[in-house]
Amino acid sequence: MTDHSLEQDRTLAAAPVAGGAAAVGATGAEELVYESGLEVEVRSQWTYARRRFMRHRLAVGSLIILIIILGAGLLAPWVAPYSFEGYDVNSLEAAPSLHHPFGTDLLGRDYLSRVLYGIRTSERVAFIVMVLATMVGTAVGMVAGYYSRWADNLLMRFTDLILTLPALAVLLVAAGLIGKGNQYRVAIILSLLLWTALARIVRGQFLSLREKEYVDAAKAAGAGDLRIMFRHMLPNSMGPIVVFATLTLGVAILLEAYLSFLGFGVQPPTPALGKLIADGQDVSSHDWWLVTFPGLTIVLIVLCINFVGDGLRDALDPTQRVRA
Amino acid sequence: MHRFGLAAIALVALVAAVFVGGGSASTSASPKKGGQVVFGAEQEPPCLNGFLSGCNNTWTSWTVGTQYRGLYIQKPDFSFVPDLAQSAKIVKAKPMTIAVKIKKQAVWSDGVPVTYQDFKYVWQQEINPKNDVASRSGYDSIKAITPTSKDGKSFNVIFSKPFAPWKALFVNSLYPAHALNGQPDFNNVWLNDTNNPKTGKPISDGPFTMTNYTKGQSMTFTANPKWWGPHKPYLSKVVFVFRTNTDTEIQAIRGGEVDAIYPQPQLQLVDLKGQPGLKIESNAGTTLEHLDFNEQLKGGMPLLRAPWFRQALAYAVNRQAVITQIYKKFNPKQQVLQNLTYGNSQKGLYVPHFQKYVFSPTKVASIMTKHNCTKGSDGIWSCNGTKATIKYGTTTGNKLRELVQEIVQAQAKSAGIQFVTDNDPSRLFFPRVSDGNYQIAMFAWVGTGDPFGQTDIYGIGGGSNWKGYNSVKVTNLFKASDAELNPTKRTALVNAADANMAANVPTLPVVQKPTFLVYKTKIHGIRDNSTVQGPTDNMQDWWVG
Amino acid sequence: MLTFIARRILYSIPVLIATSFLIFAGVSLIGDPLGGLKVNPLASQQTIDHITAEKHLNDPIPVRYGYWVRDAVTHKFGTPLLSNVPIWDDLKRVIPHTLMLVVTAELISLLIGVSIGIYSAIRQYSVFDYAATTFSFLGFAMPVFWLALMAQILFTNLFLAWHVRIFYTSGLSSPDPGTGIHWVLDRAQHLAIPVMVLCVLNLAVYSRFMRASLLEVVNTDYVRTARAKGLTEKRVTMKHAVRNALIPVVTLAALNFGALIGGAIVTEQIFQLDGMGNYFIQNLLNTDIYPIMAWLMVVAVAVIFFNLIADILYGVLDPRVRYD
């Protein structure tokens, strides 16, 4: 399925339960915070993290490539050599050349430009998904973890229910019946499905943080629930949240590609990467570049995102010794 | 049954017409007996009773439909050739009465002769309000079917009102009354098999009977030893395997996993052309693609109500570019469609009424200026404060239509008209269009080559006149044609209506969609039949050598 | 232990009921129950009225839910919109096909994935380990449909080049599959490519999970104890560590069921296998919500069942887990 991608989430979510090594918690930082005040030390936690990340050469390299690709997509209207719809009758189905590095399609449209616009569409969808899913997941996890009891029960049972069904199937049903090929609708549908894994992680964090002495201290000092959650507990859960957000970006790009491929994703004229592959498969035995380039682009983007996510996990989660 | 074969929008037309067929006359050597052909089918029948709306799609009639040969068979040239019929003619005009005589030798595969009972059975099921049949049109005009000979081989069909395209009612539309009589609910007849419910054995009056059906995978048809045609079927088996994903279907014929396919036009078919061992036959089909302009207030756009504006649009749509860039790749001889009723291939009927609309930004400009429109800074015309920005919708996923749309959009921009994409998958698109909720829609009417049904599409109050075209003259001309039994007079009426529409442009014809039959060169006797009959109408003539 | 199992089963019942209501209400609300009919603009009013009455569409959702549950239990999930063939008859046909596909893929990828994981962990940071890591990251980033398309084209071209039928690129079996060993061979030739494609994905998941799990276990106290007792390194690894490291992997495999079905959706669609995925997509394209709801329900029951198995397996395999 999309499986792979979701698989990762699964792994993230299931790991603590299954006794695996993974994830959860910047415990090192907590100690510091407890010993000597909040502001300064939180900053230093991030400084350490940045240093650790920079040492992870693969992740840094991936980040650079990612910035270049996503940046090119973002700036597609300015960097693309041609417009995505303008076509050239004189070079129909041209193989890749200096003129058209990715070749041209059946109507003689420059494929590099179309792929760049495709990145733009896919990344726009993916960023919306990342922001929405992270916000919802964090909020739900916080509430469930902090208040526990009935709120916890209710929210966790609800996420259980959502996890009961194969994500791709639920997505397809939603996108097929109400997605209408609109990129924002598709993005919202994706977000509504992807927050559950994060909710579980954040809940786990909050459950353990709730028992910490500094939280008791803050309570005793008369701090309100919101203040405790946002000032004291959330900063200490940022590690897994950042890692999740990063990986979600990749998951969203893949899932959108699946939807587009099956005909339920973002629809023309806006090219999206999955749609480009679906269109290209028509003539794939002949014009190999039409399927190859958008496919490779997806693989490269997701690969880089996963490497960056991996680097972030190492950097933000010093307890995790096992390095990929 | 094949008349209903066209799920979404079957419309129709027949006419004792002339026409040009594709056709490969390959049967020079003497046919070999035995062997089988594996045919890739693009759709699987949801269920097998093709009369029911739920079971009915083109492939239902092209597969199981071959078991129910009727009075006529429609040939690639659109003509109706007697099949079961020894003779059939109109013997009385009022009430319209047809005297039919069925061939003596015609029997079902269990040996029971085909008689008037079988026709009567189908008619009664069609008009029974409890049955969810695909279409009652035509059958509801029949008043009675009465035998005129003892053996039941001769009978009269009496209509309550004139019905010009009557022959189409009797193409592949026959069920064995002796097998099905007594079935309590026609809605439950023949859903998963087509066996005689009384004996459990396959039954057919065609050259083959379906002996095995593995749902989701394949259907096997075995030669019918009781076949009453001039010669026994050459093949011993024809197997249809379902390949609903077109790309997979194409790979399957490339890689030799199937012997023949009959796909919707796809650009990748062009790639198959050079492959040794494969033959591609392409013909003009019965599907007429067009741009529909919505004149209704609801959902429509005010400017579209003005004939001059629609004419300007007709000059802004580069139909020639569509043909050159897409359709000529399939067939270098493909032309722009210039008639809303007849296809280019219907010689003697087709008159190019729309041919004056050749892409011309200058013509658009002169029409626009004449009506006090001005060009904005973005190069788009504006008339009385309304911008010439029009929503243009078509069916998502139909790649050819999407390509056409992209070409039309890009070209129209240079003529100062902006078409905004407004597509939906067909499952959402058609409900919306039939609700009048669109501005311009590109889709197709699938016909039989006969103008019957135009009244419904273009006539005032017509059930499919979703665009709200409002011309008394056109309505009357088409209505008159439906009741006119003389073919020549009928064609004249129809073309008069069509010429009238060319002036008003309620709809702009684009292309007569081609059909494609791809098969291995080792199969002989196979040929395309681009009418709704489909290429499987002569399976008895196929042989492998 | 028995009480635990009983309690776990009891807990599944409300989950099942909630899921069924969620499925029914969700799909009924976002989809048009008559959608499949309306696609045909010429569908007669009589037919529409008939179906409205049959499906009780004028009643409120909870009442319709009641009818639906009744139909599901007593009438094989009722009938689709347009056909009178009971939905369960079709499901009954496609489920074994999908199981054949996913179970084969699952077993092969578990076997190979676990082996790769063990070897990677033992030879951490070796060339093999890096290669395996690279491979699994690629697996995570690869859209399955893209891989499937490439494989399909590759094998078609191989056939055209060599004129030898190695594998079929579409369908579940030949028109005349024969019987006995011939049938098995024919089926294997048809399923080979889809299974390979699904394996690539699962291999990435299982090999990485096994590696992480084993590295974790190797560093635990009891393994150190085993070493201290003087057992050979090989014996320690194989006898103690691997056995324990397998526990989370096996659990993950059971939890993975939903994801597998998801993977089957795309694969079956491309290779035209008459399985659940293909059935699902066909009905989604027809906008017929009744088969879709039945499909989701069947999958949900299966997922709940496998979650149950996972929990029980975990308890049986891991002596550290106690139930009370």
Retrieve residue C101's tokens.
Answer: 């596909």
For chain B, the chains sharing at least 3 beta-carbon pairs closer than 8 angstroms are A, C
- Least confident residue range of A300-304, B497-501, C157-161: C157-161
Measured between CB atoms, does A177 come within 8 Å of chain C?
Answer: yes
Do B255 and C286 count as a contact with CB atoms less than 8 A apart?
no
Mutate to test the interface with B, among A285, A287, A290 (most CBs of B within 10 A): A285
Measured between CB atoms, does B247 come within 8 Å of chain C?
Answer: yes
Mutate to test the interface with B, among C159, C170, C174, C267 (most CBs of B within 10 A): C170
Cβ contacts of B253 on chain A, cutoff 8 Å: none
Distances (CA, A) of C273 to C187, C194, C262, C264: 11, 9, 14, 9
Query: Would you state the pLDDT for residue B508?
Result: 94
Query: Would you state the pLDDT for residue C8?
Result: 79
For chain A, the chains sharing at least 3 beta-carbon pairs closer than 8 angstroms are B, C
* A-contacting residues in B 203-262 (Cβ below 8 Å): 247, 250-251, 254
- Mean pLDDT, residues A95-110: 76
Q: Where are the alpha helices (DSSP H) in chain C?
A: 2-30, 35-38, 45-54, 61-74, 87-122, 127-141, 144-162, 180-218, 221-228, 233-235, 243-255, 257-271, 276-285, 289-317
- Mean pLDDT, residues B123-131: 88
B418: CATH: 3.10.105.10
Q: Where are the alpha helices (DSSP H) in C221-288?
A: 221-228, 233-235, 243-255, 257-271, 276-285
Cβ contacts of B268 on chain A, cutoff 8 Å: 282-286
C227: CATH: 1.10.3720.10
Reported as a pLDDT band with limits 50, 70 and 90, residue A85 is low
- B141 Cα to chain C: minimum distance (Å): 17
Beta-carbon contacts of residue B331 (< 8 Å; ≥ 6 apart): B282, B514
Measured between CB atoms, does A268 come within 8 Å of chain B?
Answer: yes
* C-contacting residues in A 77-106 (Cβ below 8 Å): none
- Asked if residues A309 and A240 have their Cβ atoms less than 8 Å apart, the reply is no
Is residue B112 one of the residues assigned to a domain?
Answer: no
Is residue C85 one of the residues assigned to a domain?
Answer: no
pLDDT at B107 over 80: yes
Cβ contacts of B192 on chain C, cutoff 8 Å: 85, 89
pLDDT digits (tens, 9 = 90+) for B139-160: 888 999 999 999 999 999 999 9
Q: Count the neighbouring beta carbons within 10 Å of the beta carbon of residue B370.
A: 10
Q: Describe the crossing of helices C144-162 and A273-280 by its angle, rounded to 10 degrees.
A: 20
- B438 Cα to chain A: minimum distance (Å): 15
Query: Would you state the pLDDT for residue C43?
Result: 63
SS3 call for C245: helix
- Mean pLDDT, residues B437-460: 84
- Mean pLDDT, residues A225-235: 81
Nearest to C193 by CA among C106, C143, C268, C282: C268
Do A263 and B396 count as a contact with CB atoms less than 8 A apart?
yes
* A-contacting residues in B 428-467 (Cβ below 8 Å): 428
pLDDT at B3 over 60: no
Is residue B523 one of the residues assigned to a domain?
Answer: no
Is residue C75 one of the residues assigned to a domain?
Answer: no
pLDDT at B495 over 70: yes
CA B505 – CA B355 distance, rounded (Å): 12
If one counts the domains in chain C, the total is: 1
ipTM of the complex: 0.82
Distances (CA, A) of A204 to A198, A220, B139: 10, 23, 69
Count CB pairs under 8 A between chains A and B: 55
CA B191 – CA B206 distance, rounded (Å): 19
Cβ contacts of B132 on chain C, cutoff 8 Å: 44, 46-47, 50
Query: Would you state the pLDDT for residue C36?
Result: 67
**Residue B31 per-residue DSSP state:** P
Cβ contacts of B8 on chain C, cutoff 8 Å: 39-41
* C-contacting residues in B 414-433 (Cβ below 8 Å): 425-428, 430-431, 433
Query: Where do we find the tokens 């067929």?
Result: B21
Do B135 and C81 count as a contact with CB atoms less than 8 A apart?
no
- Mean pLDDT, residues A30-56: 59
CA C208 – CA C114 distance, rounded (Å): 9
Reported as a pLDDT band with limits 50, 70 and 90, residue B99 is very high
Cβ contacts of A263 on chain B, cutoff 8 Å: 396-397, 425
CA A100 – CA A118 distance, rounded (Å): 16
If one counts the domains in chain B, the total is: 1
Highest mean pLDDT pick, A181-195, B495-509, C32-46:
B495-509
- Least confident residue range of A11-15, B512-516, C174-178, C263-267: A11-15
Retrieve residue C143's tokens.
Answer: 């859209």
> What percent of chain B is predicted at pLDDT more than 90?
41
User: Angle at Cα C80 formed by Cα C78 and Cα C83, nearest 5°?
Assistant: 110
Mutate to test the interface with C, among A173, A247, A279, A284 (most CBs of C within 10 A): A173
Measured between CB atoms, does A295 come within 8 Å of chain C?
Answer: yes
Measured between CB atoms, does A85 come within 8 Å of chain B?
Answer: yes
Is residue C154 one of the residues assigned to a domain?
Answer: yes
Containing domain of residue B316, as a range? 286-514
* Closest residue to A4, CB basis, from C32, C201, C285: C201
The per-residue pLDDT of chain B, averaged, comes to: 85
Do B406 and A279 count as a contact with CB atoms less than 8 A apart?
no
Q: Count the neighbouring beta carbons within 10 Å of the beta carbon of residue C73.
A: 9
Is residue C295 one of the residues assigned to a domain?
Answer: yes
Count CB pairs under 8 A between chains B and C: 129
Beta-carbon contacts of residue B28 (< 8 Å; ≥ 6 apart): none
Predicted structure pTM score: 0.80
Beta-carbon contacts of residue C90 (< 8 Å; ≥ 6 apart): B215, B216, C279, C291
**Residue A231 per-residue DSSP state:** I
Measured between CB atoms, does A6 come within 8 Å of chain C?
Answer: yes
pLDDT at B26 over 60: no
Give Cα A35 distance to the centre of its chain.
34
- B502 Cα to chain C: minimum distance (Å): 26
- Mean pLDDT, residues B479-487: 85
- Asked if residues C157 and B275 have their Cβ atoms less than 8 Å apart, the reply is no
- Asked if residues B443 and B10 have their Cβ atoms less than 8 Å apart, the reply is no
Measured between CB atoms, does C45 come within 8 Å of chain B?
Answer: no
Reported as a pLDDT band with limits 50, 70 and 90, residue B208 is very high
Query: Would you state the pLDDT for residue A3?
Result: 35
Do A85 and B423 count as a contact with CB atoms less than 8 A apart?
no
- Asked if residues B12 and B134 have their Cβ atoms less than 8 Å apart, the reply is no
Is residue C72 one of the residues assigned to a domain?
Answer: no
- Asked if residues B63 and B219 have their Cβ atoms less than 8 Å apart, the reply is yes
- A21 Cα to chain C: minimum distance (Å): 6
Is residue C131 one of the residues assigned to a domain?
Answer: yes
Cβ contacts of B248 on chain C, cutoff 8 Å: 152, 169-170, 270-272
Cβ contacts of C254 on chain A, cutoff 8 Å: none
The better pLDDT of the pair B456, A108 is held by B456
- Mean pLDDT, residues A288-304: 87
Q: Count the neighbouring beta carbons within 10 Å of the beta carbon of residue C183.
A: 14
Report cis status (omega within 30 of 0) of the bond before A269. yes
Query: Where do we find the tokens 């004449």?
Result: B370
Q: Which residue of B has its CA nearest to A266?
A: B396
Nearest to C6 by CA among C316, C310, C308, C321: C308
Do B191 and C83 count as a contact with CB atoms less than 8 A apart?
yes
CA B66 – CA B533 distance, rounded (Å): 9
The per-residue pLDDT of chain A, averaged, comes to: 74
- B191 Cα to chain C: minimum distance (Å): 7
Query: Would you state the pLDDT for residue C321?
Result: 57
- Asked if residues A120 and A301 have their Cβ atoms less than 8 Å apart, the reply is no
Q: Bridge-partner residues for B41, per DSSP?
A: B242
- C159 Cα to chain B: minimum distance (Å): 6
Q: Work out the end-to-end distance of chain A between its first and last CA atoms, rounded to an integer number of angstroms.
A: 23
CA A221 – CA A231 distance, rounded (Å): 14
Is residue C20 one of the residues assigned to a domain?
Answer: no
* Closest residue to C265, CB basis, from A15, A20, A169: A169
Containing domain of residue C257, as a range? 95-317
Q: Which residue of A has its CA nearest to C200?
A: A4
CA A164 – CA A175 distance, rounded (Å): 19
pLDDT at A316 over 80: no
CA B194 – CA B414 distance, rounded (Å): 57
- Mean pLDDT, residues A72-82: 80
Low-confidence stretches of chain C (pLDDT beneath 50)? 324
Domain A46-316: CATH superfamily is MetI-like (1.10.3720.10)
CA C277 – CA C271 distance, rounded (Å): 11
* A-contacting residues in C 271-300 (Cβ below 8 Å): 280-281, 284-285, 287, 289, 292, 295-296, 299-300
The better pLDDT of the pair B394, A106 is held by B394
- Asked if residues B219 and B40 have their Cβ atoms less than 8 Å apart, the reply is no
Do B46 and C271 count as a contact with CB atoms less than 8 A apart?
no
* C-contacting residues in A 222-251 (Cβ below 8 Å): 250
Mutate to test the interface with C, among A165, A178, A283, A291 (most CBs of C within 10 A): A165
- Asked if residues B15 and B78 have their Cβ atoms less than 8 Å apart, the reply is yes
Query: Would you state the pLDDT for residue A318?
Result: 54
Measured between CB atoms, does A110 come within 8 Å of chain B?
Answer: no
Phi, psi torsion values for B202, nearest 5 degrees: -60, 150
Do C40 and B54 count as a contact with CB atoms less than 8 A apart?
no
